[in-house]
Amino acid sequence: MGLEMFRNILLNSKTVENRLINGLLLLIEQERSGEQVDRMLLKNLLRMLSNLQIYQQMFEQRFLVASEQLYALEGQRIIQDSEVGVFSRLDISIYLHHVDKRLREESERLLQYLDCTTRKPLITCVEINLLQNHVTAILSKGMDSLLQENRLQDLRLLYDLLSRVKNGLVELKNSFSVYVKKVGHCLVMDLERDKTMVQDLLDFKDKMDRILSECFCQNEKFAQGLRDSFEYFVNQRSNKPAELIAKFLDTKLRSGNKEATEEELDRLMDKLMVLFRFIHGKDVFEAFYKKDLAKRLLLGKSASVDAEKSMLCKLKQGRWYRTSADTTVEAADASTMAILCNDRLLPERKCLVELYAKCGSQFTSKLEGMFKDMELSKELGSTCKQYLNGYRLSWNIDLTVNILTMGNWPTYQVAEINMPAAMTEYLEAFKKFYLSKHSGRKLQWQPSLGHCLVKARFRPGGRDVETTDNFTFNEKFEEKLIRIKINQIQMKETEQEQQQTTEQVFQDRQYQIDAAIVRIMKMRKSLSHNLLISELYSQLRFPVKPTDLKKRIESLIERDYMCRDKEDSNTYNYVA
């Protein structure tokens, strides 16, 4: 009865109510300003209102209105200060920590003296007024600096805070993607940085991956945004990134590369394959990689055998290769597996496995053929030596011949040179041996791709070479002391050779487009222009412009492979 009477007095006396509520709000305002207040008094008064069942009616509504006004003004003030330079772009972390502090303070008040029913509306009030209403300003003023300076703790706090508000993470993801595209575009389009582009891209990808993992909780939408952004800017400069990745891989796979350990090389190749996945013009990479691979194989410049024992173990476990995304690629057939599992040239085979995983057998069939040729040449060489032992030759030369299938290897110009008599004798003997086992075949020698070992001994004496000194070949020389390897250092590819490779890729693309058009028209018989273009885009594995497709269609019409429909010029008919 007494509590009921006291409740009625509070409800019916506006003077008492106002003095009580205003006093409570003043104490809370003072505490929010940093002053010390009597929390026990607040707790007892608010518990009294709760027991009288007038907490929400008398206190909570006015408290939430006051909180709304406070945080709305506070958020606007800080953002406006930043626009006039008081709050600099680099101090975005101060604002983030301020918001985090406010949220923790309000949570503490809820634990100490506020009723639990106030939790949701109070926290929502802080989130909306300090975060949701200013997401665009927060990201535009500080996101780039946080990413550029790699401020991981601040980025993680930003992610945690924006995850609390509607569309906060969507805005953060979009801002993250815009930054990645902007920085990546600068890396790819700066011609002066071509020499370091691939390493710069690898470093940038590592940095963004770390941010994704440590700050953005490996959020799949952020991860997809990162992948899409890399794919976007890597293909802004047509063909060049693909060429440079192939060249970079070549420098790492040469046997003279001492920069990295076996494990480091293995990890580096994994990362390069991630970049490779983003490239649209994979045929450009294939052309340059194939040309460099041929040099490494033929000149014996590929990396050491031990570099990929770990890959061999993975193959023995019944799978080809597990990517960083934990995707397993199973073995396709026993013959390909046998080629890749051979214990020679393991780094090259590791790369081939990964290319197979990313592109399939069509992409790697010629590369596999190159490895097969080297293996068959090794087996053939053993048999040939036995044959030549019974063949009376005037010279003692340790000859190794690689038999290359022309369709698998890059095209080389035949260099007409005058061979020494000893070499001519050996080559003729080998030719007889080979044709005896493979009648009907034709051998075309490529001496420019060969290399030899010259051994010489110099008598003790002066080390200086004078202008009057003469050097002649001593046919009676037998004793060994110093070894000199001809062609030990690979010649750098000239700009003309690079241009020829690029032009060859372009020419191959024309053939592939023509073949795809004929294949589609032969199957469909009649097709509209738009549908034909759509099917071509789905089949071709390289980027192509609509104007280029139109040129190839016109070319096929001129050559009578297809024709325009007489009633509808926008429709094509296949000509059998």
> What's the chain's average pLDDT?
80
Highest mean pLDDT among 62-71, 262-271, 311-320, 472-481: 62-71
Quick one: 86 and 210 in the same domain?
Answer: no
- pLDDT > 60? residue 385: yes
In-domain check, residue 440: yes
Name the residue range of residue 393's domain: 376-459+475-485
DSSP β-ladder status, 562-564 and 526-528: unpaired
Q: Is residue 352 part of a domain?
A: yes
Which uninterrupted H or E stretch holds 483? Answer: strand 482-485
Same domain, 51 and 134: yes
Residue 562 sits in a domain whose CATH number is: 1.10.10.10
Q: Give the chain's domain count.
A: 4
pLDDT band, residue 322 (cuts 50/70/90): very low
Query: Of 253 and 198, which is predicted with more confidence?
Result: 198
Using alpha carbons, select from 345, 334, 361, 285 the residue that is nearest to residue 311: 345
Q: Look at residue 16 in the predicted model and tell me its pLDDT.
A: 77
- 549 lies in some domain: yes
Q: Are residues 75 and 196 both part of a single domain?
A: no
pLDDT over threshold 90, residue 544? no
Has residue 158 got a pLDDT over 90? Answer: yes
Residues 102-130, mean pLDDT to the nearest whole number: 94
CATH code, 427: 4.10.1030.10
DSSP letter string, 150-173:
T-HHHHHHHHHHHTTSTTHHHHHH
59 with 142, same domain? Answer: yes
Per-residue confidence (pLDDT) for residue 485, from 0 to 100: 46
Residue 223 and residue 355 in one domain = yes
**Lowest mean pLDDT, pick from 291-295, 476-480, 565-569:** 476-480
Asked if residue 329 has pLDDT above 60, the reply is no
Mean pLDDT calculated for residue range 254-283: 79
Report the share of the chain in percent with pLDDT over 70: 78
pTM recorded for the entire structure: 0.73
pLDDT digits (tens, 9 = 90+) for 176-212: 999 999 999 999 999 998 999 999 999 999 999 999 9
Q: Is 180 within a domain?
A: no
Q: Do 360 and 391 fall into the same domain?
A: no
Contact at 8 Å (CB) between 343 and 304?
A: no
326: left (phi over 0), alpha (psi -120 to 50) or beta: left
pLDDT at 63 over 60: yes
Q: How confident is the model at residue 155 (pLDDT cuts 50, 70, 90)?
A: very high
User: Do the Cβ atoms of 386 and 359 come closer than 8 Å?
Assistant: no
172 near 162, Cβ under 8 Å? yes
Same domain, 273 and 343: yes
Is residue 518 a part of any domain in this protein? yes
C-alpha span between 408 and 390 (Å, rounded): 33
Q: How confident is the model at residue 18 (pLDDT cuts 50, 70, 90)?
A: confident
Same domain, 216 and 350: yes
Residue that finishes a domain, picked among 90, 121, 149? 149
Beta bridge partners of 526: 573
197 or 399, which is more confident?
197
pLDDT-wise least confident of 101-110, 117-126, 493-502: 493-502
H or E element in which residue 328 lies:
strand 328-329
Q: Are residues 349 and 275 in the same domain?
A: yes
The CA–CA distances, whole Å, from 232 to 143, 279, 473 equal: 21, 9, 59
> Going by C-beta distance under 8 Å and a sequence separation of 6 or more, which residues neighbour residue 277?
358
Which residue is it, tokens 């399939």?
360
pLDDT of residue 490: 45
Residue 204 and residue 340 in one domain = yes
Mean pLDDT of 41-53: 89
> In the chain, what is the straight-line distance between the N-terminal and C-terminal CA atoms, in Å?
103
pLDDT score recorded for residue 149: 92
How crowded is residue 458: how many other Cβ atoms within 10 Å of its Cβ? Answer: 8
Instruction: Count Cβ neighbours within 10 Å for each residue of 75-112 and write b for 16 or more, e otherwise.
Output: beebbeebeeeebeeeebbebbeebeebbeebeebbee
Segment 479-508 mean pLDDT:
61
Last residue of a domain, one of 296, 330, 365: 365
Whether 165 and 131 have beta carbons less than 8 Å apart is answered as yes
**Contact predicate 301/330, CB 8 Å:** no
What phi, psi does 191 have (nearest 5°)?
-65, -30
CA angle 351–352–353, rounded 5-degree value = 90
The answer to whether the beta carbons of residues 378 and 419 sit under 8 Å apart is no
- Per-residue pLDDT tens over the stretch 424-447: 888 888 888 888 888 888 888 888
CATH number of the structural domain spanning residue 121: 1.20.1310.10
- What is the chain's Cα-based Rg? 37
Question: 117 and 196 in one domain?
Answer: no
> In a 3-state reduction of DSSP, which class is residue 470?
coil
Residue 484 pLDDT greater than 70, yes or no: no
- 36: pLDDT confidence band, cut at 50, 70 and 90? very high
Is it the case that residue 369 has pLDDT exceeding 60? yes
| Among candidate residues 338, 365, 392, the one where a domain is terminated | 365
Look at phi and psi of residue 217 and say left if phi exceeds 0, alpha if psi is from -120 to 50, else beta: left
Q: Which of 193-202, 343-352, 513-522, 556-565 has the lowest mean pLDDT?
A: 343-352
Region 246-257: mean pLDDT is 80
pLDDT at 357: 56
- 484 forms beta bridges with 454
CA pair distance 153, 50, nearest whole angstrom: 40
464 located within any domain: no
Integer Cα distance of 304 and 32 in angstroms: 68
Among the ranges given (81-95, 216-230, 361-375, 431-445), the one the predictor scored with the smallest mean pLDDT: 81-95
H-helix segments, 412-541:
421-437, 495-524, 529-539
What's the mean pLDDT in 225-232? 95
Instruction: Give the C-alpha distances (Å, rounded to integers) separating 392 from 389, 395, 396.
Output: 8, 9, 10
Q: What pLDDT does residue 347 have? A: 60
Per-residue pLDDT band for 287 (boundaries 50, 70, 90) equals confident
Let me know if residue 430 belongs to a domain.
yes
Structure tokens at 265: 């090389």
Residue 67 clears pLDDT 90, i.e. is over it: yes
Residues 79, 116, single domain; the answer is yes
Q: Is residue 215 part of a domain?
A: yes
Q: Judge whether residue 566 has pLDDT over 50.
A: yes
Q: What is the pLDDT of residues 458-475, one digit of tens each?
A: 666 566 667 777 777 767
- pLDDT one-digit tens code per residue, 402-428: 999 888 888 888 877 888 888 888 888
